[in-house]
Structure 1
């Protein structure tokens, strides 16, 4: 593709004659460099000349200073590139103009409208190469305004920055004005004023990116592989010296040995250099993300006072809106439980994004995986809300899945399910294209991602605050559903006797799970944290209904603290919709009752999403004491966050705004920097990882060693399908094993009935690497399982 030269540039040549005319480039409609016989025209910028290079080779080139490449445009060395580009914000705001500036490989952008706009004048942009007619008009307008009003330019704070060193640039094929920049963590969609402007920007960005050439490992290793060693000269010299043949051969061998050792050492140093370069690029990406976060937080902080004043007005609005919504709710919703009408309607203050943003100044600071940190800034907050924490060690885990080795094949879901309507999902054989590289055993542990809530609940109980313990347990119960948003692939059905362990010292957890029954399919798990134990078993009933899948969990989840307080609850119903047409989505609905053996209990209502619901995933809850009095109210969304306020919101005076007192209990972690087609969270990406030295410690039944699941994670789809078929044929004998009295290795039912409980011994066997009692369930033949 032909690349046009930069459209316009600003240099420091003064105007002298007002009658001279500058020629215009017919391609770019920009001013051309003036020949000796050409006249000039006075510029409104008074002191700067605008020119456009007609010959890129002569006027736009790279020069070298101290071995480093630098841009040279029309005599300006190392100058900045700037101009207006339209940036895609969202579907509500669309394309918005921003002032972009490229300097030393960093592309920064600023707002040009509103209270945070920047001044773009000849003073601020002196020596800057400007692209586009619209950019010039803005500079002229701002310069006149600054001169007329005597405005001092404000400090230039970018809205965001993009480091070209770690970014890739892509032109749109459907629109000759658009292009995008991918930073590794986000993608900026940009649009220029014209095709020529886009060409100039692309050339400028590529020039800036070329300042940091990427050195690949293959480039580093190639020269050494071509090195050959000749000993002819050495041999001739030794012969001239009168040495015999034996001495000559020994000398040659010594030299070759030394050379080989030096070459191997050099290879090692080159590999280390390559790793350091990759680490540098990763740090650069994280730096950009951190800088963007700092800018966003500073803007939120500046809005703090404005938000407080808006509460009064929003309270009045919510009162009238509440009356209307409650009337519709009373007439439309039916609840089987008699006392569920006590739940208030969160649509009053969660229905609009502008109101949700008002939670910003009330949020507590939570370091979800690193420990506990409670620092509420709510006016009049409880003094007990102080910093609580555990110093867990920092463990480095992987951040992304391996790159697929094969191209995935497309499979029609409808073709697979049309013959299975009304059947149990666990009995339906599906190819791996519908699976995610995790088993149901690992999914059990994934629901403990926000275990810091239980650590915090334990600390609150030690301080004698049972209410805060109950609130954190309720938030934990709701947080387990956050990982299901956008996750539409089915986890692998474990084999009978399959296990999964999770030893996460960075979270203070030790977890073990096992498939304890094949028909019905039951998985049991046990987890130990600091000051608490958690155990559960789950029997999932699932059916196809043509356009949806309904999942009804059976089983009890139990949480026991070291001081003897116990909480128990069951999970709600899950459905996956639009299997044939429309966007696939899942929803959780029903009432979850959390029973405690001490002072408090809780009831959470997961609201079912309706077809026209614009505010889905709502959760409403009440905490009650022994006498049935409501002492606290919870609300939020299971895929975003949970809040609480003291007292019963339903009996508050008309016009009461819960936003004024709401306190954040839990907030979902940020999405992964490396998204996958499975929409795995950052935590889920680590679950199937085989860290160094772990494989030797695992039993042969661990899910990480399951071959079809490992092949799917590696993108080896043909091998994954073959292994999945082999293991399912092998698993058909599990029913016979169970009928013959097969017993799970690590779990037993309490008193022969009820919930499966961990019987102990796993971690002791792990320390001794003694897995003699564990079957090779993933073996290549079926006789091993059949005869055991």
Structure 2
């Protein structure tokens, strides 16, 4: 189904007319029908979406962190769309359930389709041969039967027997008549099947050739694009020459150094900050030493490893594997370990805690808006490790866990568990005795789109401070891996994060500006404003997601003149900025150790007393870290096959339960449980307890055997 609907864009523009297309369980929209050929403005997957209706003409679709508010031109049209969406959703769910739930790592579709087709035709041919043979045998025995009957008829027998024999003979003649038509029908069927077999074969061959031509064209275009970008960056005086992706920050702007311009967020008004005269204002962040003076822990830290074996020098072409997978979920792409880094997704999630001391400082803040600044800096800090980390983490096995117990040294302990396999979802819980608890369930949705790969983490991150009860919620932005086909891989973060304190209703809106070759902006820029429940702005946040974040206290705000796009810009007069967060330097030799930070180097260090499901014990990951990639690939296949076998066994149990009319609960996580979150209304896996107690007793009897 396709047609026009009105989509809510923002408070300035309201509802805008957009062209919507519903196909294969996906609802996509475009500004115009012509755009369908080249630019999709957004897509929502119905298999995991909620479909609601507000009033007679409205439809609300929500999926993860994305919500579309749509309006139809009439009630009848609205009903048509709702029916189509509900049908498409049911079909998409059926499709998803029928799809293999394996770990990723199916055969490329074209290969299996091809061999299946050939196999079917072969079987068909052999069955037809059997049919012909049977037919010949029937003919032979039928003729013999009739001869015997004729002989019987000619014998001198009592009248009654003669009648019986005559009747049988008549039936045999009728049988013979129909039997003679059977070989003709069989032959027709065989001819038809062979003709179609050739047709299918030609069609398959044509499709394969078309695919290869398309791949070559995409590759060619990517190479041209790449060389054009390089030429453009090298051109003197071009706007794009202010720094390549991997280069230093861009040049200073032409503006007066004391004035900084911030891009407008779609929902937030544009603003400018001007630094106020420090003589008239004195301010410090309460009880907080600035970043550089942060106190070090007094307890002696355990010595941990500071290096791992150097990465072997394999030259590999990612495109050669991924060209079969355009549009597919990344978790379903058969990827050898050669494109991985020796850490699992659970360990990557734990890396979000690298700058945990920002939360320790936030505990001591006197005002909730000031605390919000530290929470915002923390939310940005989790991206700092991604700037060079272009390798893929291992997709955890279902039931895999990862603990990081730093209670004595750093005050916190963290636990992750893989709670779903397709879509891959990990639950995470962190408790800090310094006054905060963090929890999240993250599902990674990813799509390979040819030249780049989009990674969309879905799910909310919750952070609660024990003494004040301040409860913050936010979601992650989209990560994009560029240059899949040609050139050096690089990562960008783009989108908006809205952090809400559900107790005080303070808000912080952060904007991650996508990288542009032609922008004079500093690359990887993040800007934002912290405001209270009444909408009054208190702080301006600014910085970059790979280096540092600062906050500036607003002392006065006034409406300035309209900007270039006609929007009125607010001018914030601020005190000089304070650095809240600064990235730690990478360890020596990091470029040969997957660009791991000092924390990342310790995450896979073998440790005693951990659960038997812990990522540190995963054998293929351990082999890969040691540089034994060929063995690691063999081991990866073994583990995935083992996981598939367990899944098949579960499916058989489900069928059995269904036949007996019993309920089947499906997979149940071990340390987490599904509950409706009272704040977001979403089903979320929260920690139910028991892990650390089991560790103290060293009683791991509940743990599944996954390795």
Query: How would you bin the TM-score normalised by the shorter chain?
Result: 0.5 to 0.7
Aligned to 1:474: 376
Q: 1:558 touches 1:569 (CA, 8 Å); kept in 2?
A: yes
Q: 1:315 touches 1:657 (CA, 8 Å); kept in 2?
A: no
- Counterparts of 1:86-97 in structure 2, within 5 Å, are none
Question: Aligned partners of 1:536 and 1:669: how far apart in 2?
Answer: 25
The answer on 1:500 being equivalent to 2:402 is: yes
Q: 2:439 touches 2:463 (CA, 8 Å); kept in 1?
A: yes
**The residue matched to 2:479 in structure 1 has which SS?**
strand
Question: Aligned partners of 1:648 and 1:659: how far apart in 2?
Answer: 5
RMSD: 3.2
Change over 3 Å in CA distance of 1:543–1:317 after alignment to 2? closer
Shift of 1:344: 4.6
Change over 3 Å in CA distance of 1:706–1:383 after alignment to 2? closer
Question: Aligned partners of 2:285 and 2:457: how far apart in 1?
Answer: 40
**The residue matched to 1:722 in structure 2 has which SS?**
helix
The answer on 1:749 being equivalent to 2:674 is: yes
Question: Aligned partners of 2:384 and 2:557: how far apart in 1?
Answer: 27
Question: Aligned partners of 1:396 and 1:658: how far apart in 2?
Answer: 47
Question: Aligned partners of 2:414 and 2:548: how far apart in 1?
Answer: 25
Change over 3 Å in CA distance of 1:316–1:621 after alignment to 2? closer
**The residue matched to 1:744 in structure 2 has which SS?**
coil
**The residue matched to 2:694 in structure 1 has which SS?**
helix
The answer on 1:669 being equivalent to 2:584 is: yes
**The residue matched to 1:542 in structure 2 has which SS?**
strand
Aligned to 2:333: 428
Q: 2:554 touches 2:572 (CA, 8 Å); kept in 1?
A: no
Question: Aligned partners of 2:549 and 2:313: how far apart in 1?
Answer: 38
Question: Aligned partners of 1:625 and 1:383: how far apart in 2?
Answer: 17
- Counterparts of 1:160-559 in structure 2, within 5 Å, are 318-319=255-256, 337=266, 339-344=267-272, 380-382=282-284, 384-387=286-289, 391-403=298-310, 407-460=312-365, 464-504=366-406, 505-529=408-432, 530-559=434-463
**The residue matched to 2:683 in structure 1 has which SS?**
coil
Change over 3 Å in CA distance of 1:649–1:777 after alignment to 2? farther
Change over 3 Å in CA distance of 1:723–1:649 after alignment to 2? farther
**The residue matched to 1:575 in structure 2 has which SS?**
strand
Q: Out of 602, 605, 612, which is 1:689 matched to?
A: 605
TM-score by length of 1: 0.50
Shift of 1:612: 2.5
Question: Aligned partners of 1:548 and 1:317: how far apart in 2?
Answer: 33
**The residue matched to 2:301 in structure 1 has which SS?**
coil
CA distances 1:263-318 after superposition (whole Å, capped 9, x unpaired): xxxxxxxxxxxxxxxxxxxxxxxxxxxxxxxxxxxxxxxxxxxxxxxxxxx99962
Aligned to 2:91: none
The answer for unaligned runs of 5 or more in structure 2 is 1-250, 562-569, 655-665
Aligned to 1:565: 470
Which one has more relative contact order, counting CA pairs under 8 Å at least 6 apart? 2
TM-score by length of 2: 0.55
Q: 1:514 touches 1:746 (CA, 8 Å); kept in 2?
A: yes
Q: 1:447 touches 1:483 (CA, 8 Å); kept in 2?
A: no
**The residue matched to 1:447 in structure 2 has which SS?**
helix
Shift of 1:521: 1.1
- Counterparts of 1:40-79 in structure 2, within 5 Å, are none
Q: 1:343 touches 1:620 (CA, 8 Å); kept in 2?
A: no
Aligned residues between the structures: 419
Aligned to 2:528: 621
Greater fraction strand: 2
Q: 1:494 touches 1:515 (CA, 8 Å); kept in 2?
A: yes
Shift of 1:653: 7.8
Aligned to 1:602: 508
Change over 3 Å in CA distance of 1:316–1:540 after alignment to 2? closer
Aligned to 1:760: 689
Shift of 1:677: 4.4
The answer on 1:611 being equivalent to 2:517 is: yes
- Counterparts of 1:641-656 in structure 2, within 5 Å, are 641-647=548-554, 651=558
Question: Aligned partners of 1:316 and 1:659: how far apart in 2?
Answer: 19
**The residue matched to 2:324 in structure 1 has which SS?**
coil
**The residue matched to 2:692 in structure 1 has which SS?**
helix
**The residue matched to 1:683 in structure 2 has which SS?**
helix
Aligned to 1:115: none
Aligned to 1:588: 493
Q: 1:399 touches 1:674 (CA, 8 Å); kept in 2?
A: no
Question: Aligned partners of 2:553 and 2:258: how far apart in 1?
Answer: 23
Q: 1:518 touches 1:735 (CA, 8 Å); kept in 2?
A: no
Q: Out of 543, 549, 555, which is 1:636 matched to?
A: 543
Question: Aligned partners of 2:457 and 2:518: how far apart in 1?
Answer: 27
Change over 3 Å in CA distance of 1:378–1:610 after alignment to 2? farther
Q: 1:456 touches 1:472 (CA, 8 Å); kept in 2?
A: yes
Change over 3 Å in CA distance of 1:649–1:592 after alignment to 2? farther
**The residue matched to 1:755 in structure 2 has which SS?**
strand
Shift of 1:393: 3.6
Question: Aligned partners of 1:639 and 1:383: how far apart in 2?
Answer: 23
Change over 3 Å in CA distance of 1:619–1:392 after alignment to 2? farther
Shift of 1:385: 4.5
Change over 3 Å in CA distance of 1:381–1:706 after alignment to 2? same
Shift of 1:631: 1.1
Q: 1:688 touches 1:704 (CA, 8 Å); kept in 2?
A: yes
**The residue matched to 2:410 in structure 1 has which SS?**
coil
Shift of 1:456: 0.5
Question: Aligned partners of 1:378 and 1:672: how far apart in 2?
Answer: 43
Aligned to 2:247: none
Question: Aligned partners of 2:252 and 2:280: how far apart in 1?
Answer: 17
Aligned to 1:171: none
Question: Aligned partners of 1:668 and 1:649: how far apart in 2?
Answer: 30
Greater fraction helix: 2
